[in-house]
Structure 1
Amino acid sequence: MALPDPGVYDPALLYAAARLYYEEDATQAEVAARLGTSRATVSRLLAEAKRCGIVRIEVVPPGSDLPADELSRRVADLLGLESVYLSPALPPTSGRSAVDVMGGTLAPAVARALSEAGLAPGDVLLVSSGRTVYEVSRFDLTPLPGVLVAPTVGGNDQPEEWYQTNEITRRVANRVGGRATYLFAPALPGPNLHPSLLQDPSIQRVLDLWPQARCALMGIGAPPLSRSDIPRFVPTDSTSLRRAVGDVCSRFYDREGVPVGFEGIDRLIAIDLEILRRIPVTIAVAVGSDKVESIIGGARGGYYRRLVTDPATAGAIVAALPQEVIA
């Protein structure tokens, strides 16, 4: 006899099977006997109960069950950072991906980090491209009237809006009540275009702001060769990028934080990592198990000194560095 489609199971039956199996620790055979059905049907009932949200299973990394203050201090100590700002746990995605829900969860923690940056009217706030900063820029941040907001990398030729740094710059400036200035240049111009772009006064004006910046807000990219979403200019066939575990502002680095180059990087219009290190307040925002190694490598390189993340990612960092403290 054909089994019924799991999508048509009675919710009461799904709940009964889930309660017996997960709360009363009955085996699938015992659940089948109690409900008068087969083990195969019980397996389908349990799978459907998870799919529709009757059963919710959370995998908690070691350390993420610590009180928030203790967990943030522990991560800061392990990574050698000034501060770690923890958001609430990301909400259930209900069929959406984590990136679809992270912006509203992370934005208040990013706002706290920006409010403690000591920015005054006339100060320069740099922002990077990337999906995380883009999603955060959709929500309210702290008021920073008179602050000049500028991009850290070109990208006006990228089709995805989260790699359009000017768009993110505009959004962040609107959220903080600052003034936006734009970089009208591709991230990696061709050999003939690159010299002329550097001579353009409007472009040079933005590049001159980089070493003057008081604060930088940046995302942290996952290992480039494991990503399904990456800027078009990145040469994913580059042998050198096999060593890269992440990037900030489109500058790649290995697990020790050592910069990783690629062919044509001399034409990359992006803030230099040495300039980034000298900015007084550097705030990175990143979540996800795929970014744990990227976060650690960036801290080792000294590319940021303050981190915004969620409890699950913080716990995964603690699990990855149980004995180690980054100098």
Structure 2
Amino acid sequence: MATNGSASEQTPSADGSHFAPTLLYTAAKLYYDEEATQAEVAAKLGTSRATVSRLLSEARRQGIVRIEVIAPSTYSQDGLAERLATALGLDNVYLSAPLPPATPSKPTVDVMGRYLAPAVSKALGAVGLMPGDILLVSSGRTVYEVAQFDLDRIPGVLVAPTVGGNDQPEEWYQTNEITRLISNKLGGRANYLFAPALPGADLHAIIHSDPAIQRVLELWPQAKCILMGVGAPPLLRSDIPRFVPTGSASLRDSVGDVCSRFYDRDGNSIAFPGSDRLIAVELAALPKIPVGIAVAVGLDKVAPIITGARAHFFNRLVTDPATAQEILAHITAEDRKDVS
């Protein structure tokens, strides 16, 4: 977006502000309408993040930005989170604010992080993680988008990836990058896994003898919490890790995946060519982790969420109200079908 000068070119306005109204408007438009982060706004305007914060505060003071705070009773989902937790057999469900309708210029994947991050932060805060506790994080677009936004700090927590992926071109499948982002947000200590998700046979043998990699793998069974995305059925996805052989006949039975481990409608693990070499947390290990937090939204995630919850791959869920309602509707339809 073109601007009328950088933030350093300050012109006093009539009410005494040291920022030109056009600059206030540009910063506010970038941040609120275009969903840019403060760091991105600062880069576009050629200024510091601190100055962007002051610009946004001044824009609100002058009425250029108007923020409406709605009391919870006004948009209450009538116990939606509690009903969903009961229906899925989960300990807790954390609902985000309703996501805005998707548009061609702003699909859901581009805006969901801003809405889900506060609910994820609340879910993590409820775990009671202490310095030295281990938090595992999966790859995937949802977790990656959440990692772009602020999370309440949990200093000293050890953050580690659940799957290899340093050979993947998309940043949301680069598990070390997600580990770095979340660790920085929490004030934790990142532990990186320098391995591809699906190495060849020769490299697989070498990887398992590497002390640095073994050190990370040994963190997995000690984890107190895991934060994971939930993948849609692989054959219905346009975005999937490069190592997944989508032409494999076995994946036709997959309803979804967590931590790059695919499962069928009964929660059974699905193998595919080479999956015995996959560097990822096993499905059987997930129920043994005290707190498993899944974060997912969208119609294509309904069946994977239901199956994952019933298989005890996670015991807490972060989602939006629309997805929560769709899950309940799906379960109700299942119950009616069983009765008939």
Q: Smaller-chain TM-score range?
A: 0.7 to 0.9
CA offsets 1:252-275 (integer angstroms, 9 cap, x no match): 111121111111111000011122
Tell me which residue corresponds to 1:82.
91
- Tell me whether 1:171 sits opposite 2:147 in the alignment: no
Q: Give the whole-Å Cα distance in 2 for the aligned partners of 1:201 and 1:118.
A: 30
Q: TM-score, normalised by structure 1?
A: 0.78
- Tell me whether 1:248 sits opposite 2:258 in the alignment: yes
Larger-gyration structure (1/2):
1
Tell me which residue corresponds to 2:141.
131
CA offsets 1:9-39 (integer angstroms, 9 cap, x no match): xxxxxxxxxxxxxxxxxxxxxxxxxxxxxxx
Deviation of 1:323 after TM superposition, in Å, equals 6.6
CA offsets 1:274-310 (integer angstroms, 9 cap, x no match): 2211000100000000110111111121100000000
Q: TM-score, normalised by structure 2?
A: 0.75
| 1:92 counterpart letter in structure 2 | P
Matched-pair contact (CA < 8 Å) for 1:107–1:141: yes
- Tell me whether 1:189 sits opposite 2:199 in the alignment: yes
- Structure scoring higher RCO (CA < 8 A, sep ≥ 6) equals 1
Deviation of 1:91 after TM superposition, in Å, equals 1.8
Q: Give the whole-Å Cα distance in 2 for the aligned partners of 1:106 and 1:202.
A: 33
Structure 1 vs Structure 2 CA RMSD: 1.4
CA offsets 1:193-234 (integer angstroms, 9 cap, x no match): 101000000000000000000000000000001000000000
Q: Give the whole-Å Cα distance in 2 for the aligned partners of 1:66 and 1:241.
A: 40
**Structure 1 unaligned blocks of 5 or more:** 1-64
Matched-pair contact (CA < 8 Å) for 1:103–1:138: yes
1:229 to 236, 239, 260: 239
SS in 2 for 1:96: coil
SS in 1 for 2:139: coil
| 1:75 counterpart letter in structure 2 | L
Tell me which residue corresponds to 1:114.
124
Aligned-residue identity in percent? 66
Q: Give the whole-Å Cα distance in 1 for the aligned partners of 2:78 and 2:162.
A: 31
**Structure 2 unaligned blocks of 5 or more:** 1-73, 336-340
SS in 2 for 1:277: helix
Matched-pair contact (CA < 8 Å) for 1:255–1:296: no
Matched-pair contact (CA < 8 Å) for 1:215–1:283: yes
Matches within 5 A, 1:1-327: 67-68=76-77, 70-94=79-103, 95-322=105-332
Matched-pair contact (CA < 8 Å) for 1:78–1:324: no
Query: Paired residues, what number?
Result: 261
Q: Give the whole-Å Cα distance in 2 for the aligned partners of 1:314 and 1:66.
A: 15
